[in-house]
Amino acid sequence: MRTISVFLQLIGLFVLATLGYWVWFVNWGPNPNDRVGVTVATLVPMSVKDWGCGRLSARFAAETPAICSVSSLPAQPNSAPSDGSTPGGGRL
C-alpha cells in the first residue's frame, strides 16, 4: 500500500511541476515559442490555453505565439475530397 501511495505522490508532483512550468512560460518566459511550453499547451483544456494565448499575445505583441495556432484536435489524415468523389476513382 505504501508503494502505491509513493507512486501516486510522484505522479502528482510531475503534474504540478509540468503545470507550474507552463504558468511560468506564459507569465515570465523569455520566448513565446518555447518547445516545452507549446507542447504542454496542447494538453491543457481549451479555456486555459486561451488564457495563456492571451497572456503571451499581450507580452509579445510583435509575433504570434505558437500556442495560439496549435489546434487541440488531431489532424484528420486521408480526408475525403470536397467534390464528393471517392479517393482512387471509386474502384476497389
Let me know if residue 53 belongs to a domain: yes
Let me know if residue 54 belongs to a domain: yes
The answer to whether 51 and 23 are in contact (CB under 8 A) is no
Let me know if residue 24 belongs to a domain: yes
Q: What is the pLDDT along the chain (92 residues), one digit of tens a residue?
A: 889 999 999 999 999 999 999 999 999 999 998 899 989 988 899 999 999 999 999 998 888 788 887 554 444 455 555 565 555 555 55
The answer to whether 41 and 67 are in contact (CB under 8 A) is yes
Domains in the chain: how many in total?
Answer: 1
Tell me the residue range of the domain where 24 lies: 2-72
Q: What is the pTM of this model?
A: 0.66
Q: Rounded distance, CA 47 to CA 70, Å?
A: 14
pLDDT, one tens digit per residue, over 73-83 is 444 455 555 56
Concatenating the DSSP letter of every residue in 14-61 gives: HHHHHHHHHHHHHHH-S-TT-HHHHHHHTTS-HHHHHHHHHHHHHH-T
2: cell is 505504501
Let me know if residue 89 belongs to a domain: no
